[in-house]
Structure 1
Amino acid sequence: MDIVKAMQVFATVVEEGGFSRAADKLATSGAAVSRQIAALENHLGALLLQRTTRRLSLTEPGEALYERAQQLLASIAETEAVVGQYALRLSGSFRISAPLSFGIHQLAPVLPEFHRRHPDLQFDIDLSDRVVDLVHEGFDLAIRITRAPSPNLIARKIARINMIVCAAPGYLAERGVPMTPADLAGHDTLGYSYLSSSDNWEFYDAAGTAIQVRIQPTVHATNGDLLRHLALADGGIMAQPDFIVSEDIASGKLQRILTEWSFGEFNLYVVYVSRRFLPAKMRVFIDYLVEVWGEFPHR
């Protein structure tokens, strides 16, 4: 039995002076209150309450239990208040994992404002494109760009991420512009090592039909900015998020291709282990990311 709950019911019966009034106070039935008291008496092996049709009185063991139950319940309430205040305090530190390029281009610019709002919070940020193990590596949360987050984690979708297939105008002038995804077979490509579909690039036409193309990259890399520099140097065709290439597309340094096809839906997520007892500092930080990253690309 839940001894603390039973003591709470017992104390309420004593304070309210009866089972029905206690039931009203606890938003339950008189029968449920009676069962709790009977179970408590059976557990302790002592009669706690003298019941008559007119009055309810404490037995000697009941008086002793009521005195101690008051102390215990007060101590529990005090402990809950202390822990609750700690959970709500926007202070302390938490550890974050984020992709390298995203961390530099997007996370770094928004942290100063968050720190201004909450100066007692500190961050330990690990920038890496690998998928970290939140539990075993001690991370509080991770920022991830993916088609589908792990089903073992709680995921909060922040924004849509547009993937852009592009190359430098010089490369396209020399090698030709692919007109369909199948044309990529004859081109130099630059592959992102952590892409969930690996070297199988998946496109979707206007009707939503999937078209999968197997590429053979001249370079694999674990970082999108490195691939961007290679593409700018006429190194080949790549598929990268808009926050990495949008400025180059706007300036004409890179040219978008295969615009009639979509590279599939990628989203920006914040993932963490458990929804229960989520510290206030994490809730506030996640809400802040939703506030500042509602749309992409950001420059």
Structure 2
Amino acid sequence: MIDLNDLRVFERVATLRSFAAASRELKVPRSSVSRSIQRLEATVGVRLLQRTTRDVTLTEAGVALLDQSAESLARLGDALDYVSGLGEEPRGTLRISAGIGFGVNILSELLPEFIRRHPNVDATLDLSSTPADLVAERIDVAIRMGPMPDSQIVAKRLGLLHRYLCASPDYLSRRGTPAVIDDLRRHDLVDLPVRDGRKSTWVFVKDQERVEHRQAARLSVNCALTVHKMLLNGGGIGLSTAYLCAPELEVGRLTRLLPEWSIPAVVVHAVFPTQRQLAPAVRAFVQFMIEHPKAGAYWQHDALQ
């Protein structure tokens, strides 16, 4: 009979491709990791991993076992965490994934207050410009922007992210200030990358009028925080999120352009790896994000209205 702990050790080694990394994450000696793999291979009767001094690769049997076991182990762990937390205060380690800009400017302010309110909760924050694999990376909750690409994704709406068309005074002094949307064609745009090499599309709304402006960006980067920094440094004209640009607009380091037009807000969601019941720490974090007044001042409401 397979030992579930040995299976859990295998899943971590196979996912991380490293005995040492699995040992550190599981907080057990490397020798214990090796013994768990040996016992599991003896139980199933086949080799699951090929080990060298530099790398760990999966055999065909190892790939098959990982595919079949990873999500089941995650669900089992989630179920145990949830049951053990019923009727208790939130506790344990909360693993959060978010974009770099949101993490630096919003979560860096909110998480210290969250853990003060919940002394039995530790938080691990993973920041990346690309969405994390919630199951493989054992993420409890991810902050995602925009429409959900898959209707099967389990998500909770947190609020709206407002954006403004901005440039630095230095750039505008050199290149002039656009008076109408079509004037943007004479300017350098800064934007996030667009798939398949297509031109960026910016949507402007005024009353019942809607205009789509398509233009290739001169500067593109896959991080909203870096877009914002490029705008501050005179790189061109771009869209900056309210929590980034509102303080700079207030002190004059950025200038809002075409203010008679609005940019459609982006929906912010908390996304979960499965349709399971949420552990108390996850529920507490999501509710905290919705209700916390400092968050509302920067991204749940229009910061310039």
Query: What is the TM-score normalised by the length of structure 1?
Result: 0.66
Q: Which deviations, in whole Å up to 9, do the C-alpha atoms of 1:24-77 show, x marking residues without a partner?
A: xxxxxxxxxxxxxxxxxxxxxxxxxxxxxxxxxxxxxxxxxxxxxxxxxxxxxx
Task: Name the residue aligned to 1:205.
Answer: 205
Q: Shift in Å at residue 182 of structure 1? A: 2.2
Quick check: 1:100–1:127 contact (8 Å CA) kept in 2?
Answer: yes
Q: Deviations over 1:262-287 (max 9, x none)?
A: 22121221111334321111111111
Do the aligned residues in 2 keep the contact of 1:193 with 1:220 (CA within 8 Å)? yes
In structure 2, what is the equivalent of residue 84 of structure 1?
A: 83
Report what 1:266 is aligned to: 266
User: Measured at CA, do residues 258 and 170 of structure 1 come closer, stay the same or move farther in structure 2, by a change above 3 Å?
Assistant: same
Instruction: Mark the CA change 1:193 to 1:275 in structure 2 (over 3 Å): closer, same or farther.
Output: same
1:91–1:121 Cα contact (<8 Å) kept:
yes
Distance change (3 Å), C-alpha of 1:194 and 1:97: farther
- Partners of 1:194 and 1:278 lie apart in 2 by 34
* 1:294 equivalenced with 2:296 (yes/no): yes
Report the count of equivalent residues: 219
Q: Using the alignment, how far apart are the partners of 1:251 and 1:115 within structure 2?
A: 32
Cα drift, residue 83 of structure 1: 6.7
Gaps of 5+ in 1: 1-79
| CA apart distance, 1:207 | 3.2
Secondary structure at the counterpart of residue 123 of structure 2: strand
Q: Residues 117 and 96 (structure 1 numbering): CA distance in 2 closer, same or farther, change over 3 Å?
A: same
Q: Which residue does the alignment assign to 2:71?
A: none
> Does the C-alpha gap of structure 1 residues 225 and 81 become closer, same or farther in structure 2, counting only changes over 3 Å?
closer
Of the structure 1 ranges 244-253 and 81-90, higher mean CA displacement relative to structure 2 is found in: 81-90
> CA offsets, 1:74-108, max 9 Å, x none?
xxxxxx99973434442211321111111011101
Change beyond 3 A, Cα 1:194–1:132? farther
Partner of 1:76: none
Instruction: Specify the alignment match of 2:100 in structure 1.
Output: 100
Offset at 1:296?
2.5
The AA in structure 2 aligned to 1:216 is A
The one-letter amino acid of 2:144's match is: R
Contact map agreement 1:192 1:198 (CA 8 A) in 2: no
Instruction: Compute the displacement of 1:154 (Å).
Output: 2.0
User: Residue 130 in 1 paired to residue 130 in 2?
Assistant: yes
In the superposition, relative to structure 1, how do residues 134 and 85 fare at CA in structure 2: closer, same or farther (>3 Å)?
A: closer
**What letter matches 1:277 in structure 2?**
Q
Given residue 175 of structure 1, which amino acid in structure 2 is its aligned partner?
A: R
Deviations 1:210-238 (A, max 9, x none): 32222222211122232222222221001
Structure of greater Rg? 1
Contact (CA 8 Å) 2:219, 2:235: kept in 1 or not?
Answer: no
SS in 1 for 2:296: coil
Query: How far 1:158 moved relative to its partner?
Result: 1.5
Residues of 2 paired with 1:114 and 1:277: CA distance?
A: 21
Q: Identity of paired residues, percent?
A: 27
Identify the range of structure 1 (255-264 vs 269-278) with the bigger mean alpha-carbon deviation: 269-278
**Residue number in structure 2 paired with 1:6:** none
Write the letter of the residue equivalent to 1:86: G
Using a 3 Å threshold, how does the CA distance of structure 1 residues 88 and 280 change in structure 2: closer, same or farther? farther
